[in-house]
Amino acid sequence: MARTVMIGNRKGGVAKTTTAVNLSYELSLKGKKVLLIDFDGQANTTSTYMLGDEEFYIGDALLDRKFDITKTIYPAIVDGIPQENLHIIPGRSGDVMTKLDMDMISLPRREERLLNHLNTIKDSYDYIFIDTNPGTSVLGLNAVIAADEFIIPTSYREKSIEGIEMFLTHIEEVKFIDESEIKFTILRCGLRRAAKREIAYGQSRTNTIWANQIANTIIWDKIIFFDAELAKLPVSKFSPKNEGAAYYRDFAREFDRNGK
């Protein structure tokens, strides 16, 4: 039975998509069966792993209760090679996702549609990740309801810690639970080693509240992440020997162990 994990933060640009792309790849290399669903709206996950000519996308399943969700699943393409262990449900670019959101508003059980579809395929995967955007759309609500745990990337920069607080409050409201009942991991991403004051500030704020939820692995700021994104590749494929290639490999090991 898959661990279903939403990658979210109410703050934009904190490496949610970078985490989705790289963590899912590293886990698949470890032999885990991974499904990655793209709710982002910028469709970067989709453009990294797909050729762009896929017939179906996540909206087809969300709009139609009877639609066979397996038809929306495609093997990820990495460097031209279809991956056995990494599968994608593609999103579409912004306008299509906005329209999808609006079309879903009038549907019955509009917030449980992803959960219900995923229940039919959960046994086929070890991990299902949902990459989301910072908003609270109907799509976002579907992700919160479907997820049984959360990865919250933070840069420690301005508003990113507030983004964690807002996101946790949002999950409490949507799932009708207290923060103590939410299973989540805070992942520090894009930290600059030289920014000692920023790190000390972030550390002091997060450690007092969420000491046990912060991942040990730190994803430091490295230009290689931007370069790999441009090349539409996971970092460890783009430049296996780069120090940055080890970060998500280490986090994949840590995250996989956390679930045991």
Ligand X SMILES: Nc1ncnc2c1ncn2[C@@H]1O[C@H](COP(=O)(O)OP(=O)(O)OP(=O)(O)O)[C@@H](O)[C@H]1O
Would you tell me which residues interact with Mg ion (CB under 5 A)?
A: 16-17, 40
Out of Mg ion, ligand X, none, which partner does residue 219 contact, by CB within 5 to 8 A per kind? Answer: ligand X
Out of Mg ion, ligand X, none, which partner does residue 190 contact, by CB within 5 to 8 A per kind? Answer: ligand X
9, 163 Cβ separation under 8 angstroms: yes
Out of ligand X, Mg ion, none, which partner does residue 120 contact, by CB within 5 to 8 A per kind? Answer: none
Out of ligand X, Mg ion, none, which partner does residue 217 contact, by CB within 5 to 8 A per kind? Answer: none
- For the beta sheet containing 34-38, the strands, ordered from the edge strand earlier in sequence to the opposite edge, are 74-78, 81-89, 34-38, 127-131, 3-7, 149-154, 184-191, 214-220
DSSP state of 138: H
Give the Cα separation of 15 and 25 in Å (integer). Answer: 15
Task: By CB under 6 A, name the binding residues for ligand X.
Answer: 12-18, 40, 42, 44, 133-134, 189-190, 219, 221-222, 225-226, 229
Pick the closer one to ligand X by CB: 69 or 225. 225
Out of Mg ion, ligand X, none, which partner does residue 15 contact, by CB within 5 to 8 A per kind? Answer: ligand X
Beta bridge pairs of residue 130: 6, 37
Pick the closer one to Mg ion by CB: 48 or 83. 48
Out of Mg ion, ligand X, none, which partner does residue 6 contact, by CB within 5 to 8 A per kind? Answer: none
The set of residues, in sequence order, having a beta carbon less than 8 Å from that of 211 and lying 6+ positions away, is none
CB of 73 to ligand X, least distance (A): 22
CB of 194 to Mg ion, least distance (A): 25
CB of 44 to ligand X, least distance (A): 6
Q: Which residue carries 């912060």 as its tokens? A: 214
CB of 47 to ligand X, least distance (A): 12
Q: Which of 145, 155, 132 minimizes the C-alpha distance to 36?
A: 132
Q: Convert 28-54 to b/e letters by CB count within 10 Å (16 or more is b).
A: bbeebbbbbbbbbbbbbbbbbbbeeee
Pick the closer one to Mg ion by CB: 19 or 213. 19
Pick the closer one to Mg ion by CB: 16 or 121. 16
CB of 119 to ligand X, least distance (A): 27
Report the interhelical angle of 16-29 vs 243-258 (nearest 10°).
Answer: 80
Q: Which of 143, 136, 141, 138 minimizes the C-alpha distance to 101?
A: 138
Pick the closer one to ligand X by CB: 69 or 189. 189
Pick the closer one to Mg ion by CB: 121 or 231. 231
CB of 248 to ligand X, least distance (A): 9
